[in-house]
Structure 1
Amino acid sequence: MSDLVNTILLGIIEGITEFLPVSSTGHLLIAEHWLGQRSDVFNVVIQAGAILAVALIYRERLWQLATGFAKPENRDYALKLAVAFLITAVLGFVATRLGFKLPEKITPVAWALIIGGVWMLGAEWLAAKQPDRTPVTWRVAILVGLAQVVAAVFPGTSRSAATIFIAMLAGTSNRAAATEFAFLVGIPTMFAASGYELLKALKAGGGAHEDWNALAIAFVVSLVTAFVAVKWLLGYIRAHRFTPFAIYRIVLGIALLIALPAGV
């Protein structure tokens, strides 16, 4: 029973944190120190649930882009999504070939949470001084692609935080427009990364000893939780800033740094 509860808790944590600007990788790494280490297959499966939730939320927008490619505005937006994705895919592949591996220690995550929170406060302040602009420029698309790579290299950074705030500072100062582009480009990026990791894990025999019932439960929990969390976030940011998320990151990071020397 305790293992089932832990599985559900990890699914909830993934669902809540994957697209909120607080770092899902960092939170899962922290949670696994208390709830038990999970396999790469497990982490990929619960991430896929969160990604599917966002794809469902944006299903009408995705359908509009797919079926209306002949319209200049749709074609331009879709091409910018494709460029951002390709930049991330190519540089991510290079990082993988170079043998890059995410650290599994709490200290760098804590510092990334703090630094990212301070950066979010500064970026929000700078973006507020810009005129409200919704168009996504080519500069925004390129920088968002690069930001995804940075977030992948440093756990605790948060892919959504990096991409949203880069978009806001690079020209798409409207929070809702920046968030939409960041989330849409995250769908193919994260599906591709998850698919690659899953195939690699299964090829290495990682699925032989998996509890697939537990994986199915975690997937559904992550999907439902992410759907609710992202729906709430999209409504929240229309009238509110990201400041509470930045403060949460800083407080959590400081708490972790204080707790670590005490052996907690």
Structure 2
Amino acid sequence: MGDHSIISAILLGIIEGITEFLPISSTGHLLIAEQWLGQRSDTFNIVIQAGAILAVTIIYWQRLLSLLIGWRNPENRSYAGKLILAFLVTAILGLVVKKLGFRLPESVTPIAWALIIGGLWMIAAEKIAARRPESSHVSWTVAVIVGLAQIVAGIFPGTSRSGATIFAAMIFGTRNRAAATEFAFLVGIPTMYAASAFELLSTIKDGGIGSEDWTSLGIAFVVSTITAFIAVKWLLNYIQNNRFTAFAIYRIIFGAALLGMVTVGWVS
């Protein structure tokens, strides 16, 4: 394993950790990074994503534990039930999408447009949500909508899973940013673990892990976990007193920059 491989693993781990749970699209950033750092295997992408999920699991371990051991509490049962419902909506529709043979785009242009449109959507959604009464309640309707939002984000890379789910929750009743973010992130934990496990098993079945550089994988996993932990902690503190507008503006600028890079041939 050379120095270049180590540096690439570190950089990709940092990018994944920062962008996976911030509403700015990890797919778009990783796709660009791979154009310059070299394309990585499916296993590598699964591993760095798993690192990001682990970070969020660590952050929310007390909340998850309280839901598990406090099932006798009606409020905990209801909340856990909504998490399960949102996960099932995503899982069932996700399998349907897989059966239909849907494949993610590997070119930059559609992702750039998704970033721009998603940024405009975030600005509009924030304004719509601001007109709703303040509420931290997660309804069964919100649970279904969040499950659907995860599918939309999966079908259209660049949308951002976290952005789609947080704003879906806010528009459909969970007006409080912190409450909407918590539900979106908690739903993302089983969803992303399941998706990563499914992809990893498929890769193993196809014999795609025999030539992996396990040292690079390990480094990227650790870097992704640490970076995601810091990024999510920062985000949870940031949204206490700030809107998501800055992320929306960043998405629009980044998406426009990507279209410009495609035009001049810097990326394909």
TM-score normalised by L of structure 1: 0.99
Equivalences for residues 153-164 of structure 1 within 5 A: 153-164=155-166
Q: 2:5–2:216: 8 Å Cα contact kept in structure 1?
A: no
- Residue type at the aligned position of 2:216: A
CA distance in 2, matches of 1:97, 1:26: 25
Which of 173, 179, 182 lines up with 2:181 in the alignment? 179
Equivalences for residues 99-248 of structure 1 within 5 A: 99-248=101-250
CA distance in 1, matches of 2:96, 2:31: 24
1:53-101 per-position Cα deviation (integer Å, ceiling 9, x unaligned): 0000000000000000111000000000000000000000111111111
1:196-220 per-position Cα deviation (integer Å, ceiling 9, x unaligned): 0011101111110000111000000
CA distance in 1, matches of 2:164, 2:65: 26
CA distance in 2, matches of 1:202, 1:34: 27
TM-score normalised by L of structure 2: 0.98
Instruction: Report deviation, 1:26.
Output: 1.6
CA distance in 2, matches of 1:200, 1:259: 34
CA distance in 2, matches of 1:12, 1:259: 22
* 1:12 aligned residue: 14
Unaligned runs of 5+ in 1: none
Instruction: Report deviation, 1:123.
Output: 0.4
CA distance in 2, matches of 1:111, 1:261: 13
Instruction: Report deviation, 1:33.
Output: 0.9
1:184-234 per-position Cα deviation (integer Å, ceiling 9, x unaligned): 000000000000001110111111000011100000000000000000000
Instruction: Report deviation, 1:3.
Output: 1.7
Instruction: Report deviation, 1:19.
Output: 0.3
Instruction: Report deviation, 1:158.
Output: 0.2
SS in 1 for 2:102: coil
- Residue type at the aligned position of 1:88: T
Instruction: Report deviation, 1:30.
Output: 1.5
